[in-house]
Amino acid sequence: MAGKSCFSVSHRSRSFFRSVILLASLSLIAAIIISFSSLSSRCPPLLPNTDHNPNPNPSPPIYSFVESLDKFLASRQQAPDRTDSFFSVEDLDNSIWVREMERLQGSLSSDLWPGISSVIRVYVYEMPPKFTYDLLSLFRNTYRETANLTSNGSPVHRLIEQHSIDYWLWADLIAPESQRLLKNVIRVHRQEEADFFYIPFFTTISYFLLEKQQCKALYREALKWVTDQPAWQRSVGRDHILPVHHPWSFKSVRRFMKKAIWLLPDMDSTGNWYKPGEVWLEKDLILPYVANLDACDAKCVSENQPRRKTLLFFRGRLKRNAGGKIRSKLVQVLHDAEGVVIEEGSIGLAGKEVAQHGMRSSIFCLSPAGDTPSSARLFDAIVSGCIPVIVSDELELPFEGILDYRKIALFVSSTDAVQPGWLVNFLRSIGSKEIKSMQGNLLKYSRHFLYSSPAQPLGPEDLTWRIIAGKLLNIKLHIRRSQHLLEGSRSICTCECRHSNTTKAS
C-alpha cells in the first residue's frame, strides 16, 4: 500500500507541474501573437528576399531557339563597344592572387575544401558586336531562306540550331540576375574575381552564313582580340571557355587556342576534325546537340505508349563519311527486317513531323555514328521517349560523370550490329520489364537535354557549369605550374602532350 500511495502522489505531482507549464506556454504564445499583431498594424509587410528568390513566379521556359532569339534581340541593351583590359598581365595576376587569398582564408569558416566555392564566377568578355549580336541578327534575318542547304542537303539554319549551345549559355550568363534561375554560376564584372572567362563568339553561325574568306578573316580578328587580353596571356587560355560545337567551325585558327576549354559535340578520335593534342576529356567538355524534335512530356508518353508498335526506327542521312560509313552497312543488314523502319531523310519542317511521329511510335531508335562519332538523333530519341540503340564505338557522351546512360540506352558494337539478323534478335530478347524501366528513366532524363530560356535547374546549361566547376583546381594547378617553369626545363612538355581524345577500356 505504501508503494502504491507513493506512486499516486508522484503521478499527481507531475500532472500538476505539467498543467502549470502548459498554462505558462499558452500565455507566452498569446502575448507573442498580440505583440506581432500590434507591430503589423504599424509596419508594412516585409517584401520577399529577392536575393534568395529573385523570380518567385517565373514565366514558362522557352525551348525554341528562334523564339528565344527573337525575344533576346528585341530586349537587347546596347553595350559600349570597348576592349576589356587591365594595365598589364602582372597587375591582373597580383589582383587575382589577392582575391584567391581572401577566398582561401574565408574557407576556414566553411565546410568547403579550401579554395573551392559552391558558386563559380564567370567573366563574360564584351566583344565587339560583329562577333556576337551582328551574327545572331544575321541568323534571324536569313532564317526563312530555306533554300540555303549544305552539300548533303541539310538545311543550314537547322544545323546552326542543333549546335546553338553558344547562344543558350551566353544568353543565360548575361541575363539580369533577377531573371536567372541558376545559382551555381554567376557573372562577375571584375576580371580578378573570375574563375573562368567566357568567349561569346558564334563560330558556327559565322562558318555557315559568311563567305569563306570573310569567315576566315573574322576568325583571325576574333583570335587576335581574345589573345590580346591580359587574362588570356596570363593563363594562355587555360581558364577560358570557347564554344566550338560544330566540328567544322573555327578550324583555321583553333590550333592557337588549344589550351582553352572547348565546348564540343564529341571527341572525334578519328582525327578528321580535331588534331592530336587539341582536345581531351580532362580539359574539354562534351555538350548535347539541341534536339530537333519537340519533347514528349509525361502526358505525351502515356498517350503514345500504346502506339509504339515499331521495333526499331531510323530516319536520316544513310550515307555519311568517316565513322558514319556504318550507316550504309546497317541499311544492308536491316533491309526488309520485320518491325524495322529505316528511311532516308533530313530535318526540314516536313521531315521533322515524319521523324517525330516515327520516334514516338517506336520502342527503339537507332543512333549510329554520323560524320563524327556523335549524332543529333541520340538526343531526338531521348526527348521522344524512344530507347536509343547506340552503334558508335568511339562515342563520348555529355555529362557522363553525372548521368548513367546505361539506364536509358543500349550500346552495341559495330561488329555485332552488322551481322545479319543479330541486332533484331538482340532487341527482341529484351524483356518488357527492362523496356518499361528504361522508358521511365528516359522521361526523367529528358530535362537534362532541353536548352531553354531561362535556363532551368538540372538542364544542360546547369550540368555544363557543374562539370566545369570540377575542372577548376586542376586548371589553377596548370596555370601556376606554367608560370614558374623555365625555358629548357624537361617538364616544359606537360601531360597535356600525351592525352588521346578518348577514354580507353581498362
Residues 6+ away with beta carbon under 8 Å from 208: 150, 156, 159, 160
Percent of the chain exceeding pLDDT 70 equals 74
Please answer whether residues 244 and 164 qualify as being in contact, where contact means their C-beta atoms are separated by less than 8 angstroms: no
Place 3 in a pLDDT band, splitting at 50, 70 and 90. very low
Burial of 277 (0-12, 13-18, 19+ CB in 10 A): middle
Domain membership flag for residue 490: no
* 28, part of any domain: no
Choose among 403, 345, 396: nearest CA to 374: 396
Cis bond before residue 247 (omega within 30° of 0): no
Report yes or no on 484 lying in a domain.
no
Residues 330 and 213 in one domain: no
Of 229, 259, 286, the one marking the end of a domain is 286
Q: Which residue do the cell numbers 539580369 mark?
A: 176
Domain span at 103: 65-286
Is 131 among the domain residues?
yes
Mean pLDDT of all residues in the chain? 81
Instruction: Check residue 107 and give its pLDDT.
Output: 57
For residues 459-472, one letter each, b for 16 or more C-beta atoms within 10 angstroms of the residue's C-beta and e for the rest, the string is bbbbbbbbbbbebb
Residue 421 lies in a domain: yes
Do 121 and 182 share a structural domain? yes
Can you give the CATH number for the domain in which 367 is found? 3.40.50.2000
Q: d(Cα 176, Cα 181) in Å, to the nearest integer?
A: 10
The pLDDT of residue 322 is 56
Residues 244, 327 within the same domain: no
Q: Please tell me the total count of domains within the chain.
A: 2
In a domain, 482, yes or no: no
Tens of pLDDT, residue by residue over 166-222, are: 999 999 999 999 999 999 999 999 999 999 999 999 999 999 999 999 999 999 999
267 plus 304 within the same structural domain: no
Last residue of a domain, which of 258, 286, 314? Answer: 286
Can you tell me the distance from the alpha carbon of 99 to that of 303, in angstroms, rounded to the nearest whole number? 55
Report CA 254 to chain centroid distance, whole Å. Answer: 22
Same domain, 195 and 324: no
- Say yes or no: 241 and 351 in one domain: no
Residues 279 and 361 in one domain: no
Judgement on whether residues 250 and 208 belong to the same structural domain of the protein: yes
Q: What is the pTM of this model?
A: 0.81
Would residue 502 count as lying in a domain? no
Which one of 286, 311, 329 terminates a domain? Answer: 286
**What are the pLDDT digits (tens) for 237-286?**
999 999 999 988 999 999 999 999 999 999 876 667 788 888 888 999 99
Same-domain status, 106 and 241? yes
Cα–Cα distance for residue pair 69/71, rounded to 1 Å:
5
In this structure, are 245 and 387 located in the same domain? no
pLDDT of 321 strictly over 70 = no
- Residues 223 and 329 placed together within one structural domain of the fold: no
Q: Based on the fold, state whether residues 144 and 277 are members of the same structural domain.
A: yes
Q: Is residue 495 in a domain?
A: no
